[in-house]
Amino acid sequence: MNLTIHKRKPTKIAAVALLMFFFVLFAAPQEASAERRIALVIGNGAYGADPLSDPPNDAQLVADTLRNLGFEVTRRIDVNQRTMEILIRDFGKRLKDQKDSVGLFYYSGHGMQVAGENYMIPVGVTIEDESDVEISGIDVNQVLTRMRYAGNRMNFLVLDACRDNPFEKSFKSAAKGLGRMDAPKGTLIAYAAEPHKVAKQGRGNYSYFTEALAREIVKPGISARDMLLNVRKAVHTMTDGKQLPVVEDKLLDKFYFKPAAYVTREPEDSPPVRETKQIIDRDGMFIAYNNGVVRDPKTGLEWVAGPDRDMSWDEAKSWVQGLNIDGGGWRMPTLEELETLYTSGAGTRNMTRLLKTTGWKVYSGKTRDSSSAWHFYFWDGRKYWGSRYDPGAGPRAFAVRSRSGG
Which tens digits make up the pLDDT trace of 29-77?
A: 333 335 799 999 999 998 887 788 889 989 999 999 999 899 999 999 9
Q: What single letter denotes the amino acid at residue 73?
A: V
Give all strands of the β-sheet with 111-114 in edge-to-edge order: 111-114, 117-120, 138-139
- 286 and 355 in a single domain? The answer is yes
Q: What is the CATH number of the domain that holds 392?
A: 3.10.100
Asked if residue 334 belongs to a domain, the reply is: yes
CATH assignment at residue 193: 3.40.50.1460
For residue 13, being part of any structural domain is answered with no
291 and 227 part of one domain: no
Q: Say if CB 176 and CB 198 are below 8 A apart.
A: yes
Q: What DSSP letter does each residue of 63-125 carry, written as one string?
A: HHHHHHTTEEEEEEES--HHHHHHHHHHHHHHHHH-TT-EEEEEEES-EEEETTEEEE--TT-
The tens digit of pLDDT for each residue in 82-93 reads 999 999 999 999
Burial 12-25 (b: 16+ CB within 10 A, else e): eeeeeeeeeeeeee
pLDDT at residue 5 in the model: 39
Domain that holds residue 287: 279-402
Which residue intervals of 265-359 are DSSP H helices? Answer: 313-321, 335-339
* Per-residue pLDDT reduced to its tens digit, 197-220: 887 777 667 899 999 999 899 999
Instruction: State the average pLDDT over residues 302-328.
Output: 87
Residues 141 and 69 in one domain: yes
For residue 369, tell me if it sits in a domain: yes
Q: Decide which of 344 and 19 is more confident.
A: 344
% of the chain surpassing 70 pLDDT:
81
Beta bridge partners of residue 372, listed in sequence order: 369, 387
Q: Does residue 320 contact residue 397 with C-beta atoms inside 8 Å? A: yes
More reliable by pLDDT, 383 or 195? 383
User: Same domain, yes or no, for 193 and 318?
Assistant: no
- Give the per-residue pLDDT at 310: 81
pLDDT at 392: 58
The whole-number pLDDT of residue 347 equals 84
pLDDT score at 204: 65
Total tally of structural domains belonging to the chain: 2
| Separation CA 164–CA 111 (nearest Å) | 9
Same domain (yes/no): 244, 319: no
Residue 112's DSSP bridge partners are: 119
- Cβ distance 352 to 285 under 8 Å? yes
Residue 1 pLDDT exceeds 60: no
Of 313, 255, 197, 193, the closest CA to residue 35 belongs to 255
267 part of a folded domain: no
Whether pLDDT at 10 is above 70: no
Q: Are residues 178 and 302 in the same domain?
A: no
155 & 213 share domain: yes
pLDDT score at 398: 95
Query: Which of 37-41, 108-112, 116-120, 197-201 has the weakest average pLDDT?
Result: 197-201
Tell me the percentage of the chain whose pLDDT exceeds 90. Answer: 44
Examine the pLDDT at 221 and tell me if it is beyond 80: yes
State the pLDDT at residue 82.
94
- The whole model's pTM is what? 0.59
pLDDT value at 269 more than 70: no
CA 86 to chain centre: 23
Q: Are residues 336 and 284 in the same domain?
A: yes
